[in-house]
Chain A
């Protein structure tokens, strides 16, 4: 067991009659998936280091319903959304940060018309703000000279036009960044979106994550960076399928920055 993190809940804040500056929406993957939990912990370490006044919903959080919506189950999505909005509004939440681009997109774009209006930011955007404001000081040079390629998550990039924040944050590591041929608007999906994460792919000649991993391998990376727990799983599996797991790491931007901070 590693050191315990400081993770206050909204209920804790409420009990003290206080309101945190920002709510960290952990998401289902971030809460339960073994690989994604590491990303969650890395991000919390950064929040702790930068003295961010934050809280989580903890056991009061529930799936955003994003994946049900994309599978076509609008009913289940709206049930989830309305339930979550009740909780969020009861706590008078104004600002939310999340490590999952799918939650980010859903909370930001699909909750408002159901009565949930919040300022929602992605963790790569938040880390950039922390660096720009000096709350996170310049990193050590753990990654100096390493070759990193960044895979754009569809729901951060094309879906919400955020291509720069993750790249700006990556520059902080002093690594050399190499772009894949398909990047930003033309980036290829990792294959997890639209509920594909939860089912076997349809018949075809290859898996999407393997094709995307091939894109990444062309840049001869030491590290494949991304900003989505699902992309992370898909790219990790892709690297394994190509038998490159000994040479190439797949890391979230939060993990890269936390490591570079020696956290």
Chain B
């Protein structure tokens, strides 16, 4: 029976990691529902972007307060998690603070001491984050798409962090042996004094309880990610790598259209010729996107990566002037619909069964799409290289090329271009008149 804790620990660990792996598989499957897109170019620039934007958080620090706090939480989070390594070894092998038996006391103390300081800083930052969200009520956390779940999600994670940091410090403070070493208890020695009246036995129980809740909490956190905007702590890396590397103004040229245009312009092409053998069944290309499967996989990865921070929306000229369009909502809608499609596939043995719904109309309205000025402010602002504009454009393409559903004024403008090569009804032969006016 002496091994019971080790066995329980192993089971919890395997269950926690197993469920996480399952979620990651679903995530990858859903992202692959998107169309293929060539991202093999500019490798070195891509690595650089990942290093600077995801690891270096270069875009976050543009807003100094939230940027600084975020860096603290991020660094703290990563470094403190080194401690998890020790917890796992201790848990599996029944050791206690295995680090002490492999490292000199001074090194071990230095490490744990710095973790404790970081834990404190993380705690303080998280409290400030909470105040910004709930007391100061920063506008971007309270717009219309921040319905109850996104709002709660943001807070849950803050509570999570507060509890985990507290447990870590209490665990150290009530560890009599660790306190007696007097190395590395930089912060916890003060907390230990709160417990000075407790018997050694009680302390041991508190220490063990904190230890268990701490590691279970971390596993729960890991599995909460998939359901949360906090997926960005993992996906920010691939997302910044696969993000746009061309100048922001560049919109891709649709290849399917290029083929048709070349055919039409080619005087030798026989438009009525029977299609070549074997391609008869080829479905005509669908232009633009009406649902998530019409988007490419980078756009779907974008949707899962979105942190719902609202920086994009707070810079969007349409949103700032009261229009319905919010680039954050575009990303949240895309993710919600993608999840819905994924669940549909799971429920129908791996096949998507038409549910009479789609991204266009059921989630994103024409009114939102037509309000965009393609100004790229959202793309510029996004701290994790998301491109909401590319989704908006893809859906406009569907509206115009598949449904001829552009606003009347735009149809007039396009007819003008077709007929006389300018968006206004002027004769092309008058193009040089300005010279003599």
What residues of chain A have their CB less than 8 Å away from a CB belonging to chain B? 1-2, 4-5, 7, 9, 26, 28, 30-33, 37, 40-41, 44, 56, 58-59, 61-63, 65, 67-76, 78-80, 82-83, 105, 108-110, 113-114, 154-155, 158-161, 185-186, 188-189, 191-196, 198-208, 211-212
Contact = CB atoms under 8 A, between A and B. Distances in A.
Interface residues of B, number: 70
A202 B318 contact: yes
Contacts of A78: 253-254, 257-258, 261
B251 A70 contact: yes
Interface string B63-100: 00000000000000000000000000000000000000
B276 interface: no
Contact of A72 (B265, B381, B399): B399
Contacts of B372: 194
B393 A67 contact: no
Given A73-B401, A188-B315, A199-B370, 13 more contacts: A32-B422, A32-B430, A65-B417, A67-B413, A71-B396, A75-B261, A75-B401, A76-B418, A78-B254, A80-B417, A158-B376, A159-B248, A211-B317
A193 B373 contact: yes
A158 B248 contact: yes
Nearest to A106: B249
A59 to B, nearest CB: 5
A205 to B, nearest CB: 3
B324 A194 contact: no
A110 B315 CA distance: 26
Contacts of B428: 59, 62
A188 B317 contact: yes
Interface in B400-437: 400-401, 406-407, 409-410, 412-414, 417-418, 421-424, 426, 428-437
B437 to A, nearest CB: 7
A203 B375 contact: no
30 contacts: A5-B435, A7-B432, A28-B421, A31-B434, A37-B434, A58-B431, A59-B429, A62-B428, A63-B422, A68-B413, A72-B400, A73-B414, A74-B253, A75-B261, A78-B257, A79-B418, A113-B253, A154-B373, A154-B374, A160-B248, A188-B320, A189-B375, A192-B373, A194-B372, A194-B375, A198-B412, A198-B413, A202-B325, A202-B370, A211-B321
B137 interface: no
Nearest to B315: A186
Q: Is the interface of B mostly helix, strand, loop or mixed?
A: helix
B371 A201 contact: yes
A202 B371 contact: yes
A2 B254 CA distance: 45
A74 B246 contact: no
A56 B417 contact: no
B322 interface: yes
Contacts of B380: 158, 185-186
A201 B410 contact: no
Contacts of A73: 397, 400-401, 406, 414
B283 interface: no
A68 B288 CA distance: 14
Nearest to B371: A202
Nearest to B402: A72
A200 B413 CA distance: 13
Contact of A28 (B264, B321, B423): B423
Nearest to B257: A74
Contacts of B325: 202
Nearest to A33: B424
Contact of A4 (B261, B412, B436): B436
A151 to B, nearest CB: 12
Contacts of A196: 373
Given A32-B424, A74-B287, A205 B321 contact: yes
B247 A161 contact: yes
B373 A114 contact: no
Nearest to A182: B315
Contacts of A76: 414, 417-418
